[in-house]
Every structure is written in structure tokens, then in C-alpha cells.
């Protein structure tokens, strides 16, 4: 579920968030200057943003192809509601191949973002984990052949 509780943010907080979403590897001096604040204010605000949960976590973005993960697939599913739906969500949360899973409105119940090394591995995975599961009524997959845009920063 998406969190709805909001932490009040002022213009300086938003500038700091805009800066660190693009590159947190820069020094505190560089980020503070770009955000138009002092280093001590930047550090204090960053600590508050982390503690309040506005900053959920800090991660490294990895080039999938460099790791031999060449296939990205969006899988949409229609599933049985009730206990089976909850069971499948638990399974999908634990699956290392699924990097994102969303409950959605519209024609599908869930959208899965899946990363695989190759099509043969994907074929085996989808048959074993999706198609053979009796709770899945319908499955549609979309293989990504070209990334048009990938951005993790949220517009502030």
C-alpha cells in the first residue's frame, strides 16, 4: 500500500530532495550549495528527512546488462480474489526476479516488473511461477526491447 501520511516540507527541503535524488555521491558542501543552504542546515534537514521516512532508503543504481540480466518483462495478471490473492502477493514479495509488484485498477489485478538473464530463463520462470498457479486466471507479458526513459527522481 502507498503511504499517505505527509511530512511538511518547505522550499529548502524540496531543493535538497531534488539535488540528492539525482546524485547523493556529491559532497555535503556541493549539495548544500546547489540547494542554496548552509552545510549545517543541509545535514540537519537530511537527518530529519531520513528519520521522518521521507527518504525511504539510499541505494546504488546498477546497470542490469553489466550483470548479465538482459531481459526486462512487464507481466500483468488477473487472479482469484480472497486468500489466494493474498498468498500470491506474499510469494511475489519474496521472489528475487520480481523487482516491483503493484496492485492496479483496470483489466489486470497485478503488474509485475521482472528481470531475467535470458528468454529461456524467463520462459521457465513464468511457466513455473505464474502459468501453473491455479489462482492466476490470465497472464499477459510485455518484453522490453528498448528503454525509452528510466528515472527514479520524483518531480518536486
pLDDT tens track for 82-115: 788 888 999 999 999 999 999 999 889 999 999 9
User: Packing angle between helix 39-51 and helix 28-35, nearest 10 degrees?
Assistant: 90
Does one domain contain both 89 and 134? Answer: yes
Quick check: is 154 in a domain?
no
The residue whose grid cell reads 556541493 is 30
Quick check: is 148 in a domain?
no
Does one domain contain both 130 and 80? Answer: yes
CA distance 13 to 110: 34
Kindly tell me the burial class for residue 45, based on how many C-beta atoms sit within 10 Å of its own C-beta (0-12, 13-18, 19 or more): buried
- Taken in order 11, 149, 56, 4, the sign of the CA dihedral is positive
Does one domain contain both 30 and 71? Answer: no
Quick check: is 91 in a domain?
yes
Q: Could you read off the pLDDT of 40-63 as tens digits, one per residue?
A: 999 999 999 999 999 999 988 888
Is the confidence at residue 3, as pLDDT, over 70? Answer: no
CATH code at 104? 3.30.70.920
Quick check: is 152 in a domain?
no
Q: What are phi and psi of 76, to 5 degrees?
A: -110, 140
Domain of residue 103 covers 64-143
pTM, full prediction: 0.78
Q: What are phi and psi of 88, to 5 degrees?
A: -65, -40
- Residue 154 pLDDT class (50, 70, 90 cuts): confident
CA distance 150 to 63: 12
Please give the tally of structural domains in the chain: 2
How many other C-beta atoms can be found within 10 angstroms of the C-beta atom of residue 37?
A: 18
**Mean pLDDT within 10-24:** 95
Q: What Cα–Cα distance (Å) separates residue 34 from each residue in 14, 38, 40, 86?
A: 12, 10, 14, 45
Is the confidence at residue 13, as pLDDT, over 90? Answer: yes
Amino acid at each position: 500500500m502507498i503511504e499517505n501520511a505527509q511530512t511538511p516540507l518547505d522550499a529548502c527541503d524540496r531543493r535538497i530532495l531534488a539535488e540528492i535524488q539525482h546524485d547523493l555521491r556529491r559532497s555535503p558542501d556541493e549539495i548544500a550549495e546547489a540547494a542554496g543552504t548552509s552545510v549545517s542546515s543541509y545535514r540537519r534537514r537530511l537527518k530529519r528527512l531520513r528519520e521522518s521516512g521521507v527518504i525511504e532508503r539510499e541505494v546504488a543504481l546498477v546497470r542490469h546488462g553489466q550483470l548479465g540480466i538482459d531481459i526486462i518483462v512487464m507481466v500483468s495478471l488477473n487472479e482469484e480474489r480472497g486468500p489466494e490473492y493474498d498468498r500470491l502477493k506474499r510469494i511475489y514479495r519474496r521472489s528475487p526476479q520480481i523487482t516491483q509488484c503493484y496492485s492496479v485498477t483496470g483489466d489486470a489485478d497485478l503488474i509485475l516488473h521482472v528481470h531475467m538473464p535470458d528468454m529461456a530463463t524467463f520462459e521457465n520462470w513464468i511457466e513455473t511461477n505464474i502459468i501453473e498457479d491455479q489462482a492466476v486466471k490470465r497472464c499477459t507479458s510485455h518484453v522490453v526491447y528498448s528503454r525509452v526513459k528510466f528515472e527514479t527522481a520524483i518531480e518536486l
